[in-house]
Homo-oligomer: A and B are copies of this chain.
Amino acid sequence: MSDYLSTAPYKGTRDFYPPEMRVRSWMFSVIEKTVVSFGFEKIDAPLIEPVEIYLAKTSEEIVNQQIYSFIDRGDRKVAIRPEMTPTVARMAAARIRDLPRPIRWYSLPNLWRYEKPGKGRLREHWQFNADIFGSADESLADLEIIQLALELFSAFGATENHYKIFINHRAVLNAVFEKILKIPGDKWANVSRIMDKKDKVSGEEFQSMLRGEGLGEIQIRELELYVNSGINYLINSSISGENCVKHLVETLEMTHEISGGKIVHYNPSVVRGFDYYTGIVFEIFDLHPENRRSLAGGGRYDNLVTAFTKDTVNAIGFGMGDVTFMDFLKNHGLIPDIQNHSQVYVAAFSEKNLRMNAIKISRLLRNAGFNVELSSGHKKLGKQFDEAHSKKIPIVVLQGETEAQKNTVIIKEMSTGAQQEVAMEELLATLKKTIS
């Protein structure tokens, strides 16, 4: 038996050492730059929420089996957030009359679910969230969120060969259920869940599951026709005049005009798990042959704030998790080589005056904007070069007793070994030239 505590991170979670953290920071910075260019403003909120805010609308699977909930020392039943949308709705509701509209918010929270860890599925993940509340015209907000998704993927160099966006509309789905398929309202949730699984089961299993919900053979054939057809099924149907159908058709037309028609597609099987969606819903799929899965998704959820306030406000949101998105970027070779940011290593000798000089040189360089690592104090200079080398720092600056007396420094380029001695007042200019 070991007497030592485990050094492993908690099951289903990740430690981010500098190499992984650099990639995560790069990923988030590309996301943030893009979303800020759309006028979204960053928000954040506490990690813990009262568990009630998840009971109404978050899926039952999450609340019953996956939520991290506990009783706090003040006897409150609380949860570590499993998703961000209820929190965003709470914050919007709290100031719904004061906030300038439309509200465009984004966040990058970590979320927790008690999952069986597996590919693309961890207990802690970070999720990019973007939401628009209170647009004067909802259809513009719908377009904007889809366009944001397109520009985000484009900012990472992703193209039509890497991903697709599938769009559907919850109200259209409901209208098809009610007016064409004549399915009783209490079966809609189960039937839509079966539709969501269509591509994962055989045609016979699919029919058998639908029979299990009490659908007759004619209903099943019609439903199969619906899920296997394009948008023309709706355009030629008895519900073609409904606003939701017109809105879906127009949204598709306009996104095609934005994206060239190759990335965004209509897909009647896209349902989204959360019960709070009311209008446009969409999912982003990875096209990589070994990773065909949903990367991100979102939709309109106009009623979520009504859990918190009698005021109403329209809302559409979009979420994307870091685990699956990182897999996407890796599999498609879209992650650049991101190095340590340090540019200069300042060597230090043991003598007190030389050591103080090394500290002062480091400060001079930092104040001029360089990222500088000071030697950790090896007695042998060779070891200090090794230190610079192991950190991949391209340049070493040093001042020994001889140089100190002349008020000069030596600049060594690690890649070539080339050295030059320059006057102290030339140091900054020479370094700027050497580094650029």
- Which residues 134-149 of A have a CB within 8 angstroms of B? 134-137, 139-141, 143-144, 147
Among B13, B16, B47, B52, the residue within 8 A (CB) of A110 is B47
Q: Verify B308–A4 contact, CB threshold 8 A.
A: yes
Q: Verify B139–A377 contact, CB threshold 8 A.
A: yes
Report if A387-B100 is in contact (Cβ < 8 Å); known contacts: A9-B45, A36-B341: yes
- Which residues 163-200 of A have a CB within 8 angstroms of B? none
A366 to B8, CA, bound (A): 43
Q: Verify A16–B38 contact, CB threshold 8 A.
A: no
A94 to B9, CA, bound (A): 10
Q: Verify A45–B16 contact, CB threshold 8 A.
A: yes
Taking CB as reference atom, which chain B residue is nearest A34?
Answer: B366
Taking CB as reference atom, which chain B residue is nearest A135?
Answer: B376
Q: Verify A7–B49 contact, CB threshold 8 A.
A: no
Taking CB as reference atom, which chain B residue is nearest A133?
Answer: B376
Q: Is A211's beta carbon under 8 Å from chain B?
A: no
Q: Is A95's beta carbon under 8 Å from chain B?
A: yes
0/1 interface trace, chain A 346-381, chain B, CB 8 Å (1 if under): 001010100110010001001001111111111100
Taking CB as reference atom, which chain B residue is nearest A370?
Answer: B37
- Which residues 93-111 of A have a CB within 8 angstroms of B? 93-95, 99-102, 104-105, 110
Q: Is A391's beta carbon under 8 Å from chain B?
A: yes
Give, as a whole number of angstroms, the nearest-CB distance from A410 to chain B.
Answer: 20
Query: How many interface residues does A have (CB within 8 Å)?
Result: 103
Contact residues in B for A100 (Cβ distance below 8 Å): 387, 390-391
Q: Is A422's beta carbon under 8 Å from chain B?
A: no
Task: Give the oligomeric copy count.
Answer: 2
A22 to B383, CA, bound (A): 43
- Which residues 320-343 of A have a CB within 8 angstroms of B? 340-342
Taking CB as reference atom, which chain B residue is nearest A141?
Answer: B376
- Which residues 296-326 of A have a CB within 8 angstroms of B? 307-310
A134 to B390, CA, bound (A): 14
Give, as a whole number of angstroms, the nearest-CB distance from A318 to chain B.
Answer: 16
Taking CB as reference atom, which chain B residue is nearest A358?
Answer: B140
A355 to B39, CA, bound (A): 18
Contact residues in B for A43 (Cβ distance below 8 Å): 15-18, 21
Contact residues in B for A63 (Cβ distance below 8 Å): none
A110 to B369, CA, bound (A): 29
Q: Is A68's beta carbon under 8 Å from chain B?
A: yes
Report if A147-B359 is in contact (Cβ < 8 Å); known contacts: A10-B48, A45-B9, A137-B377: yes
Interface residue stretch chosen among A70-78, A202-210, A272-280, A398-406: A70-78
Contact residues in B for A46 (Cβ distance below 8 Å): 9-10, 13-15, 124
Q: Is A120's beta carbon under 8 Å from chain B?
A: no
Q: Verify A7–B308 contact, CB threshold 8 A.
A: yes
Contact residues in B for A16 (Cβ distance below 8 Å): 43-45
Q: Is A5's beta carbon under 8 Å from chain B?
A: yes
Report if A5-B140 is in contact (Cβ < 8 Å); known contacts: A15-B46, A101-B387, A359-B147: no
A140 to B350, CA, bound (A): 10
0/1 interface trace, chain A 76-102, chain B, CB 8 Å (1 if under): 101010000000001101110001111
Q: Verify B94–A8 contact, CB threshold 8 A.
A: yes
Q: Verify A310–B4 contact, CB threshold 8 A.
A: yes
Q: Is A41's beta carbon under 8 Å from chain B?
A: yes
Q: Verify B78–A10 contact, CB threshold 8 A.
A: yes
A172 to B44, CA, bound (A): 43
Q: Verify A140–B348 contact, CB threshold 8 A.
A: yes
Q: Verify A39–B342 contact, CB threshold 8 A.
A: yes
Report if A7-B372 is in contact (Cβ < 8 Å); known contacts: A13-B48, A342-B39: no
0/1 interface trace, chain A 38-66, chain B, CB 8 Å (1 if under): 11011111111110110010000000000
A and B contact pairs by CB, cutoff 8 A, 14 listed: A7-B308, A10-B46, A17-B99, A37-B369, A39-B373, A39-B374, A70-B70, A74-B114, A100-B390, A134-B376, A136-B379, A139-B377, A140-B375, A254-B352
- Give me 16 other A-B pairs in contact (C-beta within 8 A), A4-B307, A9-B45, A47-B112 excluded: A7-B93, A14-B46, A18-B41, A18-B43, A21-B41, A21-B44, A24-B44, A39-B342, A39-B371, A39-B374, A72-B114, A136-B375, A136-B383, A137-B378, A140-B376, A151-B366
